[in-house]
């Protein structure tokens, strides 16, 4: 399961509480984020993967959306 291709109209920082996440920002290599690791999603940068990377454990994460007034949280892309 994954978030699907998307971007955020605001910067996002977060932390993997449990599980593993396959994470890829457009133009960068895929990487696996493990429990205890942090991530950063730059404003208006396409996120290709934010997917569960484990068949045994569902991932849990905390995200902080550093938005200004009027900015949306997420924009889903085709």
Q: What are the tens digits of pLDDT across the range 23-42?
A: 999 999 999 999 999 999 99
Tokens of 1: 């399961």
The pLDDT value recorded for residue 7 is 95
The pLDDT value recorded for residue 55 is 85
Q: Which listed CATH number (1.10.1760.20, 2.60.40.10, 2.70.98.10, 2.60.120.10) goes with 6-71?
A: 2.60.120.10
**What is the percent of the chain with per-residue pLDDT over 90, rounded to a whole number?**
85
pLDDT for 77 beyond 90: yes
Q: Under a CB-based contact definition with an 8 Å cutoff, are residues 20 and 53 in contact?
A: yes
The pLDDT value recorded for residue 65 is 96
The pLDDT value recorded for residue 10 is 96
Q: Under a CB-based contact definition with an 8 Å cutoff, are residues 48 and 17 in contact?
A: no
């Amino acid at each position: 399961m994954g978030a699907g291709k998307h971007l955020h109209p605001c910067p996002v920082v977060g932390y993997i509480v449990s599980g593993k996440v396959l994470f890829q920002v457009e133009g960068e290599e895929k990487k696996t984020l493990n429990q205890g690791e942090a991530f950063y999603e730059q404003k208006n940068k396409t996120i290709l993967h934010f997917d569960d990377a484990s068949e045994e454990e569902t991932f849990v994460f905390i995200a902080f959306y550093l938005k200004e007034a009027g900015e949306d949280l997420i924009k889903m892309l085709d």
